[in-house]
Structure 1
Amino acid sequence: LRLVERETDGVAGHPHAAELAAALATAFGHTSYEVQGRAARIALKRAAALAPAGHVLAEAVPLLPEALGARVADRFGGEVARQEQQERPEAFTPPPLPAPAVPEPFPEPTLDVWESVYTWVDGERWLAAFVRRAAADREGLRRTLAEQFGGVHPQVHPQESWVDVSDWIAAMAAEVTGPAEPAAASAGPEQTGGGAEWTSGGQERSGGLEQAIGGLLEAAWNEAARLFGFQPQSGQAAGRAAGRAAGQAFGWAAGQAFGWADDPASGWAAGRAAGPAGVARPSLPPPDRVAPLHLFLLRRLDEIYRALRAGTLPPVLLATPTLTTGHLAPDVLVERLAECAAAGVEPLPADLAQALLRLPRGHHP
């Protein structure tokens, strides 16, 4: 097209008009509307130079869309291709939406869904049944959970924080089914604040084993001091330091086995927080690690677990839905609040917040 335009510029009756017109005729049949339009414009602009071969362009007019063909036919002749009038499609009318299903009552709370607590419905049912049974029939709850879990809990390994619902569920089961924590033999300045109490006084140690392990650890600590160039500790201080190092490496189990009290600044207090039952005490993940809605769910699990340990569980959870839509009937919430008040127990904050979010829209006197 550039060649045709350049060759016919300022020329009348070009000697090679036939060849140039044939090139434009080929472009008339191109699949691109832009190419067709440019060819038609050149034909009209260089009509004087292409006049000797006007019949070639006239024969190619049917190849052009109707609007372009009409303009070229006015100058060179030819039959314009008439486009068929397309019928407008009928306006789309969406079918009527089906009537919304009537909400069904929420399934009854039960502990028999512990294998599917990762689903929101079964998770709510398990939590509601757990809290209710913990308040009304603790021994029956212990037997049921011991049979279900079989003493196997996935969270026995140390973790900084728990993001899986199943970990929290297993921790609650372990708290109910596990052995009671031993009481401290004596109250001294080196007692820790949680779990089993251990002192450096020696009441909880077996003398021979403690002395053997202490001697080995002290020797290892002195050798480390020699290699790395710091002042070695001796005696019981070395044993305590080595015990902290062992606790850092092996968590609570090693620290308890060696029998030295932990220091919050030692770096393994979190590992020791596992407790004597061997089940790690969970903590919430930082907000930047999980989605906000999931963190809210974990917050509910965390407060239930801690209330269980503190003996402050309410007799009933407030937020358990009453409908499969997730809604909570206002009158049922009032009844549950009254039950908590009668038991003299404060509702759990996150549970109360979730209950209020599940109320249906509207004003509920």
Structure 2
Amino acid sequence: MWERVRALIDAKDPDGVAALVVTLSDHERPEVAKALPGHLTAIRERGGDSWAVEEYGAELRAAGVGVLGGAAAIATWLNRRGLQPGWRSGDDSGRLAWILRHRPAELRADLGRRMALKLRGRRDRDAALALALLRESGEEPPLHGPLVLAWVTDAGRADRADPLLPALLPQIFEADGVGRLLREDHHDVRSWQVMLAGMARDGDVDRRFLLDGCVTRFLRGGADTDLRFFVRLHDLLEPSDDEIRPRLLDYVRLLPAAPGPVASLALRHLRALGGLPPEHVAECVEALLFRPEAALVRAGLSWLDRCVRHDPSLIGSLASAFHSTSREVQERAVRIALKHAPLMTAESRAALADAVPLLPPDLAVRLAGTFGGEVPEEEADGFVPGELPGVPPDKGVSPREFTRGELINALRRYPSGRVAVERLMAGLVTLAHRDRPGVRAALERSLGQATKPWQSRPWAQAYDWLCAAGHVIAGTATWDWSRRMPPADLVAPPQLMLLHRCAEILAAVERDEIPPVLLATPTRASGHVDAGVLVSRMEEHEAAGVKPLSADLQQALLRLPRTPDPEAAERAGRLTSAAGGIVAAWLAGTARPEPQVSVRWAARVGSSGESTWLDDKEPDVDFHYVKPVVTSRAPRTGLPLIDLLLNRDPGGFHGDRDQLSALPAVLPSHREVAAAHLVPFLPASWDRATAAAEEVARAVTGEGPAGEAVALALAYRLAENGDAYGGRAEDERRILPAIWALTARGELPAAEMGRQIGFLVTRKGLKLGRFLPALERTAQRGAHAEVFTMIVSAIPALASARRLPHRLDALLVLARRIAVGTGIRGAFPEIAALAARTGRSAAVREARRLHEFVSSTGSDMRGVSA
């Protein structure tokens, strides 16, 4: 008989195994049972690991259930490693239950209890079999938490006729995790809450049992997700006042700390009850006043307002409201106190007078006018601005001779970073001009096939061109590079400038017209080229009779500082070449173009991808389809790469990290254009590099006007790194030092930054709270007037949203702290317009407080940083 069973197992026929084992006689079953463990071992060894057993799990389980002698042996067999139902066998509980119906009833009952106690969670794959055995046996199920969880989710429905219901129903109020499992239990005919409410209505279950179970579960506590099901069940039961009154103290105890939905339920029934003793009302109100949910606090104050008319002694509970940290709670308590003042006893009036110092000064004045009491003085709220750090000097780059060994190492190892690439370019040109035969000999021995540039694609990296130049010098170049320049519309203009510089170095090497030195090699860490050094390099070119490389000259012009250098300008005037005349004109200030950069916000709408401008309105489309569009326009200079760089609108090019880190040094004297080229790379993206705080900081601390693009880059990075600003070490090395430096130099576009912060919140969906830590840190470091200007300038965009943004009240609190601490006063129409709104939202209330302070008598600081 064992051979027949084994053949069906090896054939992976679980139904065949089941049909055979139920026909075995009492003396045939022990024979199969004895051979079964050995066959499992053979399968494991044949497959090489325990996972091989899963291929035969359904067959082995069916065989074990049919032939093993006792419940303990069957339970152990089913729980063996590899014999849990796998992906192939799926749920085999129906097949196993059918086999077990051919076994003795006592065995089935014992096996059901054993399997139930072995459950470890509702997802245990033998849970369905355990529940089926318990239902069929009629035995009392064990009180085991995982069994209850499996039962309430079994088959996804509730059943009045379930034989397990009487024994397990009380456990749904005791077993941990039941409420979380049933939190999405909907109001349909199959749901547990509808079934239990219906059973209570029909008298099939005691209503008091269900209500007591819900209240007991509430008192045990837990998260909202754990109690949501019981709140809905309680609501469906619709308890009467007579059912609530015996549990009065339990509902009162729920108000201080229960989750919001539970506290709301308790409050609703307590308010509807009527006739509560005054001490219970006072206890309830005082508990509600310290809840974090504004709706519950308002409900508590409304309840107190209603009850005071009948029992003026309750007015003493308002003193608790004055302790609240919520401005809204304090304001409403003051209104209630003033409203009921004629009804108050002398004792109540004295109690309120004693509590006056707990209120903010403006509210204390209102209350003290009626009840007396000591009004506290207006404090600076702990805001004391610090001293701005000094502006670090732009360090010079000390020149160092580039050796042949360094050249070989650089060409054999991919150079990374702007400094390494610039050094390789300058070293290659200088060495090849000075000693081309020696460089050729060194490169012939060192450059191999691995260093050759790609032959099947455009050369989009500086290394490709410089490596090709090395092979040309070594005489090992065997390719045509004339069509390797990437199309201009596929490469960011700053990267295109670098590639053209490298390409013309390659061309000069090929023509053997290598200049003595590159003009554009930076002499400052910022990427600038000192004017005197550039003139000296031009003089060296003219002395050697070599025409400067075009792209190199254009890059050098863009790297000239904006600070006038009369001595260098005078020397440049004596240059005789055409390139010398261009340098002289730039140094004289007559040729440098001044780009005009603008930022507008657009949204893509419709399936065709059409864009619409978002002038001063919040978009009606997904924030994902909203983006800033940057344009740059400058007078034409006749220098093609400069004209392209200053007039081409930045796009979403797939720049890598080296390109982004090099960009600020390409335009060190046009920071607005540099920031504009970084704008497309501000959002994080999986398929391209992202402009990090370091790139933004280097770009915005260059020279030149700072406008919308600089403001947007700074604002975006404030939000992007907002989570990191809890620690001092993080913000010291990120974007805040750049803001402090710009503030110290009087160059921070604070008003424009505020506008862009407003747009990022209302148009791009960034959370306002992400800006708050960085703004507060900036203000505390000494840029308080600038931060105040940012907040004021952000208000119009924030106030134009369909719903006032979350944490706007906290932003206005920061503005008020700055104003109180530094004495800022003046007429601010933006604040006044928000303060004039109707309603009692937290943001409007804080706007009124801010407006009241800044418009009061004092020194006018309007325009400090605007």
Alignment of 1:193-342 (within 5 A): 274=479, 283-309=484-510, 311=511, 313-319=513-519, 321=521, 323-325=523-525, 326-328=528-530, 329-341=533-545
The separation in 2 between residues aligned to 1:5 and 1:177, in whole angstroms, is 93
Which residue number in structure 1 is paired with residue 467 of structure 2?
170
Which residue number in structure 1 is paired with residue 436 of structure 2?
138
Structure 1 residue 30, shift from structure 2 partner: 1.9
Alignment of 1:109-188 (within 5 A): 109-111=402-404, 112-113=406-407, 114=410, 115=413, 117-153=415-451, 155-159=453-457, 161-179=458-476
TM-score (norm 1): 0.57
CA deviations on 1:47-87 (whole Å, 9 max, x unpaired) are 22x324x523431443332553454344345x436459679
The separation in 1 between residues aligned to 2:520 and 2:366, in whole angstroms, is 76
Which residue number in structure 2 is paired with residue 51 of structure 1?
344
The separation in 2 between residues aligned to 1:335 and 1:180, in whole angstroms, is 33
SS at match of 1:354: helix
Structure 1 residue 149, shift from structure 2 partner: 2.8
The separation in 2 between residues aligned to 1:324 and 1:74, in whole angstroms, is 66
Say whether the 8 Å CA contact 1:61–1:69 is kept in structure 2. Answer: no
Which residue number in structure 2 is paired with residue 257 of structure 1?
none
Structure 1 residue 157, shift from structure 2 partner: 4.7
Against the structure 1 CA distance between its residues 150 and 332, is the aligned structure 2 distance closer, same or farther, given a 3 Å change threshold?
same
1:352 aligns with 2:526: no
CA deviations on 1:171-210 (whole Å, 9 max, x unpaired) are 11222324475xxxxxxxxxxxxxxxxxxxxxxxxxxxxx
Length, aligned pairs only: 254
- Structure 2 residue identity aligned to 1:166: Y
- Structure 2 residue identity aligned to 1:28: F
CA deviations on 1:316-346 (whole Å, 9 max, x unpaired) are 23415484454251442232221442xxx53
1:108 aligns with 2:401: yes
Which residue number in structure 1 is paired with residue 329 of structure 2?
35
CA deviations on 1:189-239 (whole Å, 9 max, x unpaired) are xxxxxxxxxxxxxxxxxxxxxxxxxxxxxxxxxxxxxxxxxxxxxxxxxxx
Structure 1 residue 170, shift from structure 2 partner: 1.4
Against the structure 1 CA distance between its residues 307 and 67, is the aligned structure 2 distance closer, same or farther, given a 3 Å change threshold?
closer
- Structure 2 residue identity aligned to 1:299: H
- Structure 2 residue identity aligned to 1:55: E
The separation in 2 between residues aligned to 1:7 and 1:149, in whole angstroms, is 93
Structure 1 residue 42, shift from structure 2 partner: 1.7
The separation in 1 between residues aligned to 2:383 and 2:504, in whole angstroms, is 60
- Structure 2 residue identity aligned to 1:168: W
The separation in 1 between residues aligned to 2:429 and 2:389, in whole angstroms, is 47
- Structure 2 residue identity aligned to 1:292: P
- Structure 2 residue identity aligned to 1:106: P
The separation in 2 between residues aligned to 1:84 and 1:177, in whole angstroms, is 79
CA deviations on 1:94-140 (whole Å, 9 max, x unpaired) are 57667x47746422244414147434444334323423444454332
The separation in 2 between residues aligned to 1:136 and 1:82, in whole angstroms, is 80
Structure 1 residue 156, shift from structure 2 partner: 3.7
1:80 aligns with 2:283: no
Which residue number in structure 1 is paired with residue 312 of structure 2?
17
Against the structure 1 CA distance between its residues 338 and 282, is the aligned structure 2 distance closer, same or farther, given a 3 Å change threshold?
same
TM-score (norm 2): 0.26
The separation in 2 between residues aligned to 1:94 and 1:154, in whole angstroms, is 51
Say whether the 8 Å CA contact 2:368–2:374 is kept in structure 1. Answer: yes
Against the structure 1 CA distance between its residues 38 and 150, is the aligned structure 2 distance closer, same or farther, given a 3 Å change threshold?
same
Against the structure 1 CA distance between its residues 168 and 125, is the aligned structure 2 distance closer, same or farther, given a 3 Å change threshold?
same
1:3 to 287, 303, 310: 303
Say whether the 8 Å CA contact 1:333–1:355 is kept in structure 2. Answer: no
The separation in 2 between residues aligned to 1:68 and 1:130, in whole angstroms, is 75
CA deviations on 1:230-273 (whole Å, 9 max, x unpaired) are xxxxxxxxxxxxxxxxxxxxxxxxxxxxxxxxxxxxxxxxxxxx
Which residue number in structure 2 is paired with residue 244 of structure 1?
none
Structure 1 residue 350, shift from structure 2 partner: 0.7
Which residue number in structure 2 is paired with residue 62 of structure 1?
354
- Structure 2 residue identity aligned to 1:22: G
The separation in 1 between residues aligned to 2:553 and 2:400, in whole angstroms, is 20
The separation in 1 between residues aligned to 2:452 and 2:327, in whole angstroms, is 68
The separation in 2 between residues aligned to 1:327 and 1:283, in whole angstroms, is 29
Root mean square deviation, CA, Å: 3.6
Say whether the 8 Å CA contact 1:162–1:168 is kept in structure 2. Answer: yes
Say whether the 8 Å CA contact 1:142–1:176 is kept in structure 2. Answer: yes
- Structure 1 residue identity aligned to 2:354: P
Say whether the 8 Å CA contact 1:27–1:36 is kept in structure 2. Answer: yes
Unaligned runs of 5+ in 1: 9-13, 182-273
Say whether the 8 Å CA contact 1:168–1:302 is kept in structure 2. Answer: yes
SS at match of 2:399: coil
Higher helix share: 2
SS at match of 1:152: helix
Say whether the 8 Å CA contact 1:321–1:358 is kept in structure 2. Answer: no
The separation in 2 between residues aligned to 1:141 and 1:108, in whole angstroms, is 14
- Structure 1 residue identity aligned to 2:552: D
Name the structure, 1 or 2, with higher relative contact order (CA <8 Å, separation 6+).
1
The separation in 2 between residues aligned to 1:323 and 1:300, in whole angstroms, is 17
The separation in 2 between residues aligned to 1:322 and 1:107, in whole angstroms, is 13
- Structure 1 residue identity aligned to 2:442: T
Query: Which 10-residue stretch deviates more, 290-299 or 123-132?
Result: 123-132
The separation in 2 between residues aligned to 1:283 and 1:172, in whole angstroms, is 13
Say whether the 8 Å CA contact 1:17–1:51 is kept in structure 2. Answer: yes
The separation in 1 between residues aligned to 2:402 and 2:431, in whole angstroms, is 10
The separation in 1 between residues aligned to 2:426 and 2:380, in whole angstroms, is 64
Against the structure 1 CA distance between its residues 168 and 282, is the aligned structure 2 distance closer, same or farther, given a 3 Å change threshold?
farther
Structure 1 residue 349, shift from structure 2 partner: 0.8
